[in-house]
Chain A
């Protein structure tokens, strides 16, 4: 069974400071990892993904994430946070099983609050 843990329910950061949202995973085979963001009263928006290749993945809105196989982590980062980055962030994983349906397992979400 695959699982995702986001250990922090909320992260508070001052505008302009670095932002990190943590994610660890458990999966059989090679992991396929995703980050999504959800703004109030909206659906989830895709930010970035790791499938294979370079461990540092760059995504939308200046976000990036680093895949660390030994630590089974995929932390989301942004060098300089904006107030508009305040939202709910979800990490998701799919195991490397060739099954139809692209089933993702999501973490519980981390609320990010960026203060001016």
Chain B
């Protein structure tokens, strides 16, 4: 609906697994974001890519590894996660116009991740 799709919608993984989350935006935007949304915690910005370059990395553990191969696709590679990493992972995109204060971000539906 928003032009941002995420797959899978649900993921259950063990602590030793390796998996990847995928995000695709069909809006022609030049910036993409990963957020983590946990119960009873504010939305946490994890990574920002602008023009395919990472411009923000908010002290995220190395078990989360982002990849932005082009302006339409964003991945989050996961390995050796912990149970406390269980959360809703949201992807967003926007047309980054710093001189105008930035435009609104469009969010995907999220991937509900459960780490056993």
Identify which of B4, B98, B109 contacts A102 (C-beta below 8 A): B98
Within the assembled complex, what's the spacing in Å between the Cα atoms of A98 and B109?
A: 29
Residue among B55, B97, B103, B104 facing the most chain A CB atoms (10 A cut-off): B104
**Whole-angstrom CA separation of A109 from B2 in the bound complex:** 21
A46: nearest chain-B partner, CB-CB: B104
Complex partner residue of B107 from A43, A101, A105, A108, CB under 8 angstroms = A43
Q: Which of A34, A41, A96, A100 is within 8 Å of B96, CB to CB? A: A100
* A102-B31, A102-B102, A106-B43 as given contacts; A45 in contact with B2, CB under 8 Å: yes
Interface residues of B toward A: which range? Answer: 20 to 34
Which A-chain residue is minimally distant from B96 (CB atoms)? A102
For the A-B complex with A44-B92, A44-B105, A94-B102 known, give 18 more contacts whose Cβ atoms are closer than 8 Å: A30-B101, A32-B101, A36-B107, A43-B108, A45-B2, A46-B104, A49-B104, A98-B98, A100-B50, A100-B98, A102-B48, A102-B50, A104-B45, A104-B102, A106-B42, A108-B41, A108-B42, A109-B42
Report 10 cross-chain contacts, Cβ distance below 8 Å, ordered by A residue. Answer: A43-B92, A43-B107, A44-B92, A49-B104, A52-B101, A100-B55, A102-B48, A103-B48, A104-B105, A109-B42
Which residue from chain B places its CB closest to the CB of A3 in the assembled complex?
B42
- Which partner residue on chain A sits nearest B108 by CB separation? A43
B90 at interface, CB cutoff 8 A: yes
Chain A residues within an 8 Å CB radius of B84: none
Q: Is B106 an interface residue (CB 8 A)?
A: yes
B20-52 residues at the A interface, CB under 8 angstroms: 31, 41-43, 45, 48, 50-51
Q: Tell me if A63 counts as interface (CB < 8 A to partner B).
A: no
Q: Are A45 and B42 in contact (CB under 8 A)?
A: no
